[in-house]
Amino acid sequence: MSSKEVNLLAFSLQQFFYKLKAYTGLINRLIITQLLALLFSLPGGIGMISSSNGEITVSVRHYSASMVIVFSLFWIATVAILLTTKQYKKMDMPLVANRLSGNLSDVGFLLTACVFAGVTSSLVGVLFRVIMYFTFDRSMIVFNEFFLTPSDLILSMVVTILYMALISALGYFMGMLSQVSMAFVITIPVVIFGVLRVYTEFVQSVIKFYVGEVSLPLFAFKILITSIVLFGISIVLSDRMEVRQ
């Protein structure tokens, strides 16, 4: 039995390296996504407050690179769903693989992509500040939270990576459900929309459970457990599925 387990790990790892090379196209899409987000956030800022007493008008534009992170979250969700599709699962077939090794290498790829996207989207935030610093009228900038301390930068990276992991696990799980039955493709959005509208208190408590967590270790713990559970269910779901064409 032990030799088989070694085999599984060895082949999963082999597949993981194969996928790192094979899916570079997906990473290119992330870079495009982030640049697009940057372009959208630069010109007008994300919010504007204007007030006037008749003689003086004060208008404040609020700039933030958070749109880059939001876009990156969308990206990781689509990648996670994409990996569960038949087209991508079929790419495992010419390799030495079974369902489990395919899923493990997918998870490996997704987590690597999360780290990459988390680091780069935080760095795009820095790039954003640099561009602002050199192109805007500096006397008009309110330097509140403008200069990132390295520790803040690292914290933002870690938190972004954790959110990415959560979203990728969620995307992978939903993608796998839709592979089990096409019915889920319709029911999942309906259920999500319905729950959001009807059980607002429940949704808020769920969001608070993750977003409202102030302790980083506890936050990381919550995210990791949720992701492991979601990935685990996805793997169990897919294990009995046939490779259809």
Residues in 94-113 that interact with another protein by CB under 8 A: 94-101
For helices 99-135 and 66-83, angle between their N-to-C axes, nearest 10 degrees: 160
- The answer to whether residues 95 and 15 touch, using CB atoms and an 8 Å cutoff, is yes
- The answer to whether residues 100 and 235 touch, using CB atoms and an 8 Å cutoff, is yes
Place of tokens 């007030």: 51
- Among residues 228, 208, 230, the alpha carbon closest in space to that of 219 is found at 208
Stretch that binds another protein, among 93-101, 139-147, 211-219, 224-232 (CB under 8 A): 93-101
- Work out whether 6 is an interface residue with another protein (CB under 8 A): no
**Considering the complex, what minimum distance in angstroms separates the CB of residue 242 from another protein?**
5
Rg for the chain (alpha carbons), in Å? 21
- Work out whether 9 is an interface residue with another protein (CB under 8 A): no
CB atoms under 10 Å from CB of 218, counted, come to: 10
Of 5 and 145, which CB lies nearer to another protein in the complex structure?
A: 5
Of 95 and 148, which CB lies nearer to another protein in the complex structure?
A: 95
**Considering the complex, what minimum distance in angstroms separates the CB of residue 14 from another protein?**
6
Q: Give the whole-angstrom CA distance, residue 230 versus residue 228.
A: 6
**Considering the complex, what minimum distance in angstroms separates the CB of residue 124 from another protein?**
23
Q: Under the rule (CB under 8 A), what is the footprint of another protein? A: 4, 7-8, 11, 14, 18, 21-25, 87, 90-91, 93-101, 239-240, 242-243, 245
